[in-house]
Structures are given as C-alpha cells and as structure tokens.
Amino acid sequence: MSETPAVAKPFVIAPGPHVRSADSTTRIMWTVNAALAPAALWGILVFGPPALWVITGSVAGAVGAEHLIGRALGSRTSVRDGSAFCTGLLLALTLPPALPAWAALLGGIFGIAFAKMIFGGLGYNIFNPALIGRAFLMGTFPLPMTSGWTPAAPWMTGVDAVTTATPLNALRERGVQAALDLAGGSGSPWAGLLLGLRPGSIGEVSVLLLLVGGAVLIARRVITPVIPLSVVAGLALTTAPTGLLPLHLLSGGLWLGALFMATDYVTSPSTRSGQIVFGLVIGILTGIIRLFGGYPEGICYAILLANTVVPALNLWFRPRRVALVGAPS
C-alpha cells in the first residue's frame, strides 16, 4: 500500500504581528467605531444637519478611496474591515461643523490615498491617516478650517448659528474669562466643557462621551491606558505652571487624540516603555504648541510629529529576552 506523501506547508514571510489572537482586525475596528458613535451622534445633535453632512462626506471619501484604489491595484476590497470607515469618522470628528461637506470628502480621500494606500494599506502606514487628512485640509482650506465653528444648535440653546470662536481660540485672543464665558453660556463653564454644549469640532466637544468610549475600549482590551495617561501627563508638565491645566484638559481635541488616535496600533510603539515616551512627547508638544505656537490647538501635529519617532522608540525600547538561570547553553 502506497502512502500519500505529506505536503509541506509553505514558509510564509510577512510583516508582523505574528502572534494570533481571537480578536480580528475587523472586530477591533468596528469596536472602535462603536465607541466613537456616541460622540458622533452627540455632535450631530448639538450642531444639527451640517455636522451630519461633514461626517457623511468624510466617511464616503475615505471608504470610496480605499475601495477604488484597492480595485485599481488589483487587490480585494478591504472596506469591510472597518478601518477606512474609522479613518473617515475620526477625521470628521476633528472638523468644524460648518466645513463644506465636499471639503470633508477631499480630506477623507487624501488621508486614505496618501497616508495609507500609498504605503501598501493597513499595517504599513507610518502616519495616522485621519490626521494627515486634517493637516491637508488645514493647509488647503485654512479659512473654513479655522472659522467654521458654530455654537450649539439654536433649538438647544437659543443662540443663532453664526460662526464663533472655540474656548481655546478665546483663551489665546481674549483671556481666561472669555474662554470660560464661551464654554459656559448661561450655565457652568465646566459643565459646558464636559458635556459639550460649546463651540468646537464635531466630536471633540463632549469630553464625557469620549471618556465613556475610551473606557469601553480599555475594558475590551482594545487599548491600554498607558498612552492616554502619558499624553495627559505630558500636557500637565507644560500647562500646569500657567494655572490653566483644567481648561486645557477639557478643551480642544486632547481626549479624542489621546484615546482614539495616539493609541493606533500601527503608528504607536509596541513596548510599554516606548508608549510612555511616545505619550509624553505628544502631551508636551501639544502644550508647547498651545502656549507658544500660532495655532490654539496642537494635538494633531503633536501626534504626527510623534509618529515619526515610533521606529526609533521601537528600536530603543526593544523587549529583552528572558534568560533562564542554569539553562544549558
């Protein structure tokens, strides 16, 4: 009786990660999208239909670009894994609610095309695609990107939907009291900052809902608190001497960036020590830009600058191999 020869399994050479887990990329990405959903829905509720059009345009641009570029390259579409949707949603949440939807569409396309697909797709990019899209919009459409801020929807606050400043803009231009007045309206400024009834980007305004979403990701072990806490610590180092740390913690895109962008697996360090340094760099740069730069918010560029040193951090903080005492050589 002849035996069927064993077929050797092919030796596959591929980039990491190589440790398999029950969590797939698709499950992780859609979990992140679900964690962002409350803040996105609140942004639509607060700012009205314009915010919905911005989110729709950004997501459509990101998903459409990934699908079309994938087809052009002859690969199977990867839009079902949720990563392109996540990029478009994250980008939209960093944008002013009065930004034209077509501009958000272009931002989504640019972020996917030039920060993800040009490098080979998910897992190969060195910069966060959503923040590259935002940086592109800031350079291309500076006026709507810096003046598209509106108060909460008139039916919620009774304020006309005209362009206004954000608390960080008011802090830089007119001082602390102006920032608190803008955040508080007719109530407590701290409640306005925490709950989101104030001018700002679509998804940045409700710190509370962002913290809830981040807590879900930590509880599901999608992310760890190492990077977010390090970002906060870095911001505290630079802004605490001014006496305005609470205002800096509750204003701008700190929590959106720290919880949902700085923790991106692909563009953040793989070791705990590297993640601590990475987060500190982001927080310190954010504080420096806010205090001394010409731009009232700094989390976007701080993360992008920190992305450039991730390969070095992975090299400097490589995990050490455990040596077994007494083991034979």
DSSP string across 143-208 = HHHHH----S-HHHH---------HHHHHHHH-HHHHHHHHHTTS-HHHHHHHT-SSS-TTTS-HH
The pair of three-digit structure tokens given for residue 150, joined into one six-digit string: 């509106």
Percentage of residues of the chain with pLDDT beyond 90 = 54
Res 203: pLDDT:
86
Res 75: pLDDT:
77
Residue 329 is given by DSSP the state: -
Res 195: pLDDT:
77
Q: pLDDT-derived band of residue 185, with 50, 70 and 90 as boundaries?
A: low
The string of pLDDT tens digits covering residues 90-118 is 999 999 998 999 999 999 999 999 999 99
Cis peptide leading into residue 17 (ω within 30°) = yes
138-142, 152-156, 230-234, 275-279: least confidently modelled range: 152-156
Q: What is this structure's pTM?
A: 0.85
Res 174: pLDDT:
64
Most confident of 24-28, 34-38, 164-168, 245-249: 34-38
Q: What is the Cα–Cα distance from 300 to 310, expressed in whole angstroms?
A: 16
**pLDDT surpassing 60 at residue 17:** no
Res 5: pLDDT:
56
The type of residue at 278 is F
Res 19: pLDDT:
47
Res 251: pLDDT:
84
- A 10 A CB-CB count for 304 gives 21
Percentage of residues of the chain with pLDDT beyond 70 = 78
Q: What is the Cα–Cα distance from 27 to 23, expressed in whole angstroms?
A: 6
The pair of three-digit structure tokens given for residue 197, joined into one six-digit string: 């009834």
Q: What is the Cα–Cα distance from 122 to 254, expressed in whole angstroms?
A: 25
Res 187: pLDDT:
60
Q: What is the Cα–Cα distance from 216 to 260, expressed in whole angstroms?
A: 12
The string of pLDDT tens digits covering residues 188-210 is 677 777 777 777 789 887 889 99
More confident residue, 205 or 286: 286
